[in-house]
Amino acid sequence: MERNCGNRTERGREVSRRNISRNNGADTQPQQREWRGSRPGSIKVSRSGAILAALGLLFMGYGASRGEMPVVLEKAINICMECIGIG
Amino acid sequence: MDKGKNANEWKRHKVQALWALLTNGYLAGFAQGKIYRGKLKNLCVPGLNCYSCPGAVGACPIGAMQAVIGNWNFKFAFYVAGFLVFVGALAGRFACGWLCPFGLVQELLHKIPFPRKIKAVPGDKLLRKLKYAVLLVFVILLPMVLVDVLGQGAPYFCKLICPAGTLEGGIPLVLMNKPMQSALGWLYAWKNVLLAVTIFLSVLVYRPFCKYICPLGAVYSVFNPIAVFRYRVDKDVCINCKACAEACHMQVDPAEHPNHPECIRCGACKKACPVDAIMKIF
């Protein structure tokens, strides 16, 4: 019911404020925020994604240079009898 | 809430439909019963889209991969594999949720009212692994190993399994070509049975083909945890209400695993979160 209140962002901010005020109490040690997925500021994971994307481009270039594209084109511009269930 | 969820879903369907139109925009093909034969077909599209669809202007990456692997000249498809790695590494299964025409077809079918929709299929966890076996056996191994006297392998996934090929290519081409109608046999019947089963199951289960069979989804799923585009959950804000898990049609718990291999990045969890704890990051 609570999540039907229609003011989702306000609720989020309120929860965040509560957590922040809890963290800023008597304990002066900065608390580590808990994240699932990747932490902000940590770009290690996305960097590996970017490296892989670059590797993908390299693969594409290598494949194209050794003549794979004409094979794809030839298959794609002729009706593939197997694909449609005849051949 | 439901209104907002539906608006979000229809917005995504509009993008899916627009993309399907864009990549199947050769309308003359539908009128003449022919397929597009231009240079654009050098390029792959990110979704499962049969290149024998009369409207298709690009190549299906799964079909293209089998074509290159099955070619007597090559034993590995660097060009297509590179394309899949590139798309996967950028956005994981985003293409499944937003750019796959066959995914759209299944989602629309699932909107048909039915007395009892099935959320969790018995053996769901094990069945989800099936798509990796399909990828390995039908897309890679069989075209590589089962070759004819010339050393050419057939596209076994397209030939024996793919219902997208039957729907997008087989049915329209056969309807418009008399000579093809006389060549129909057991294979066409088998593929139509598979298509009928997929259609019926799609009414009951959300995207059954994507969940259990699709080799393209299998490839992209591997990249979900490391892709450039990902989800992040702020555990300080998350109130553990499980609204996101409830909203997820792919049965993922985004609060626990925001970058789960099964997530198709549809955004339903983000929309359902009452405290905006799920964020997109690049």
In terms of residues, how long is chain B?
A: 282
Q: Above 50 in pLDDT, residue A24?
A: no
B231–A contact, CB cutoff 8 A: yes
Q: Scanning every residue of chain A, which has its alpha carbon at the shortest distance from the alpha carbon of B44?
A: A72
Element (H, E) at B234: strand B230-234
Report the C-alpha gap between B163 and B65 in whole angstroms.
17
A47-82 pLDDT tens trace: 889 999 999 999 999 999 999 999 999 999 999 888
Taking the model in full, what pTM does it have? 0.87
| pLDDT tens series, chain B, 282 aa | 465 667 788 999 999 999 999 999 999 999 999 999 999 999 999 999 999 999 999 999 999 999 999 999 998 999 999 999 999 999 999 999 999 999 999 999 999 999 989 988 899 999 999 999 999 999 999 999 999 988 889 999 999 999 999 999 999 999 999 989 988 999 999 999 999 999 999 999 999 999 999 999 999 999 999 999 999 999 899 999 999 999 999 999 999 999 999 999 999 999 999 999 999 888
Report the C-alpha gap between B15 and A7 in whole angstroms.
27
CA B153, chain centre distance (Å)? 23
Instruction: Give contacts of B 30-59 with A, CB under 8 A.
Output: 35-39, 41-42, 44, 50-52, 56, 58-59
- The confidence score (pLDDT) of residue A39 equals 55
Total beta-carbon pairs less than 8 A apart between chain A and chain B: 231
B231/A64 touch (CB, cutoff 8 Å), yes or no? no
Report the C-alpha gap between B36 and B38 in whole angstroms.
6
Going by pLDDT thresholds of 50, 70 and 90, the confidence category of residue A5 is: very low
B170–A contact, CB cutoff 8 A: yes
User: Among B18, B31, B86, B158, which Cα is nearest to A76's?
Assistant: B158
Which chain B residues contact residue A84 at CB under 8 A? 50, 52, 165-166, 169-170, 173-174, 188, 191
Domain ranges of chain A: 42-87
User: Among B127, B256, B92, B31, which Cα is nearest to A48's?
Assistant: B92
Q: How far is CA A8 from CA B61, B66, B218, B234, B273, in A?
A: 41, 48, 35, 15, 8
- The confidence score (pLDDT) of residue A40 equals 53
Angle made by CA atoms B87, A69, B76, in degrees to the nearest 5: 75
| Two tokens, residue B32 | 């003449």
Report the C-alpha gap between B207 and B101 in whole angstroms.
12
Contact predicate B277/B234, CB 8 Å: yes
A25-38 pLDDT tens trace: 444 455 555 656 55
A45/B79 touch (CB, cutoff 8 Å), yes or no? no
Burial class (CB in 10 A: 0-12, 13-18, 19+), B76: middle
Q: Scanning every residue of chain B, which has its alpha carbon at the shortest distance from the alpha carbon of A10?
A: B275
Domains detected in chain B:
2-224 (no CATH), 229-282 (3.30.70.20)
Q: Above 70 in pLDDT, residue A22?
A: no
Instruction: Give contacts of B 108-137 with A, CB under 8 A.
Output: none
- The confidence score (pLDDT) of residue A85 equals 84
Span between the terminal Cα atoms of chain B, in Å = 27
The residues, any chain, with a CB within 8 Å of residue B97's CB and separated by 6 or more, are B12, B103, B264, B265, B266, B267
Q: How far is CA A60 from CA B143, B190, B279, in A?
A: 20, 35, 31
Report the C-alpha gap between A34 and A51 in whole angstroms.
27
- The confidence score (pLDDT) of residue B68 equals 96
Contact predicate B251/B119, CB 8 Å: yes
Q: Above 50 in pLDDT, residue A1?
A: no
| Mean pLDDT, chain A, whole residue set | 70
A53/B50 touch (CB, cutoff 8 Å), yes or no? no
A3/B243 touch (CB, cutoff 8 Å), yes or no? yes
B232/A55 touch (CB, cutoff 8 Å), yes or no? no
B95–A contact, CB cutoff 8 A: no
ipTM (interface pTM) = 0.89
Q: Scanning every residue of chain B, which has its alpha carbon at the shortest distance from the alpha carbon of A34?
A: B235
Which chain B residues contact residue A73 at CB under 8 A? 39, 41-42, 59
Q: What is the dihedral of CA B175, B176, B178, B179, to 10 degrees?
A: -100
How many other CB atoms are there within 10 angstroms of residue A55's CB atom? 14
Query: Which DSSP string do the residues of chain A spell out, in sequence order?
Result: -GGGSS-HHHHHHHHHHHHHHHHTSS--SPPPPPEES--TT--HHHHHHHHHHHHHHHHHHHHHHTTHHHHHHHHHHS--HHHHT--
- The confidence score (pLDDT) of residue B120 equals 82
User: Among B55, B54, B147, B164, which Cα is nearest to B100's?
Assistant: B164
